[in-house]
Amino acid sequence: MLIDTHCHLHDPEWFSEAQRTEFLENARAEGVEELICIGTNHADSLAAQQFAQGHPGVYWTYGIHPEFAEQGRAQIELARAWFQENLEAGVHADARKLVAIGEIGLDYHYEGYDRVAQVRLFEETLQLAQNYDLPVSLHLRAAFADAFSILGNFPGVRGVIHSFTGSKRDLKKALERDFYIGVNGLVTYNTIALPPLEKIVLETDAPFLTPVPYRGKIKTNQPAYVKAVMVYLAQKLTVPENKIAEETTENARKLFRI
């Protein structure tokens, strides 16, 4: 059994209703029994919630991606209101499949983003995770030094660094903080620093980052292709495929409490 811990299958911008149905069936056929749909802003997070509610084995996260930092004040107010209404008195029926805060973080890769606004939003969303005892799914790109500095102010926050692209030094710091590392199709065609198996969770980031052997042949990544990542890791680490599947699934269950 496999778990895709990070995908965007709920998003109608990338997937039609017919594709969502087809790709869920494909995932099941490949042994991907569970998946987590990742929210990127308030509206998208609630779309992920709605999709998860309609499908067994599908979970969701509430996130505000750093690309929305300039809308940060409005987005965080919406987030606080939603959490107060749904989680203050315990887990509301509509929120039972909520497993994390994410994706959240910092992205300094492109010019033009307001770094101050990103930091402010990151701190606010980490506070949500701390307040509601939820793990985080972190989007960190070219911003590890700032991110680790900020995380130092939230010592109780646990989670995963999604689609890790940092250095070996960044990896060491992440592991010292007991974070898991999200490994996806990137690892099949780029040189990526890999953690020990006990800290890996598998993901696709579908529709993005299609893994080899589908890369260049298939336009849209899908949760079923998390199996290709597992097969690659088995070869790379010289570990049996069933051990990769078992350990990464157990890691995901432990982190996300599913």
* pLDDT, tens digit, 9 for 90 and up, residues 161-197: 999 999 999 999 999 999 999 999 999 999 999 999 9
* pLDDT, tens digit, 9 for 90 and up, residues 133-166: 999 999 999 999 999 999 999 999 999 999 999 9
> Over 70: is that where the pLDDT of 253 sits?
yes
Q: How far is CA 19 from CA 5, 27, 57, 158, 237, in A?
A: 19, 12, 17, 33, 33
Beta bridge partners of 181: 161, 200
> Over 60: is that where the pLDDT of 94 sits?
no
Q: How far apart are the first and last CA of the chain?
A: 14
Query: pTM value?
Result: 0.96
Note every long-range contact of 17-21, with CB atoms under 8 Å and residues 24 or more positions apart, other chains counting. Answer: 19/220, 20/51
Averaged pLDDT for residues 235-253: 98
Q: How far is CA 81 from CA 11, 88, 221, in A?
A: 23, 10, 34
Model confidence band, residue 92 (pLDDT cutoffs 50, 70, 90): low
Q: What was the pLDDT predicted at 95?
A: 61
Residues in the chain: 258
Sign of the torsion angle spanned by Cα atoms 245, 190, 148, 208 = negative
Q: What was the pLDDT predicted at 93?
A: 46
> Over 50: is that where the pLDDT of 205 sits?
yes
Instruction: Supply the range of the domain harboring residue 127.
Output: 2-256
> Over 70: is that where the pLDDT of 91 sits?
no
What CATH number does the domain containing 63 carry? Answer: 3.20.20.140
Domain count, the chain: 1
Q: What was the pLDDT predicted at 125?
A: 98
How many CA atoms, within 13 angstroms, populate the side-chain half-sphere of residue 214? Answer: 23
> Over 60: is that where the pLDDT of 220 sits?
yes
Q: What was the pLDDT predicted at 110?
A: 86
Q: What was the pLDDT predicted at 178?
A: 97
Query: CB under 8 Å to 234, separation ≥6 — which residues?
Result: 240, 241, 243, 244
Beta bridge partners of 104: 138
Query: CB under 8 Å to 185, separation ≥6 — which residues?
Result: 204, 205, 209, 210, 211, 212, 215, 221, 225, 228, 229
List alpha helices for the chain, DSSP H. Answer: 17-29, 42-53, 72-87, 115-131, 144-151, 168-176, 226-237, 241-256
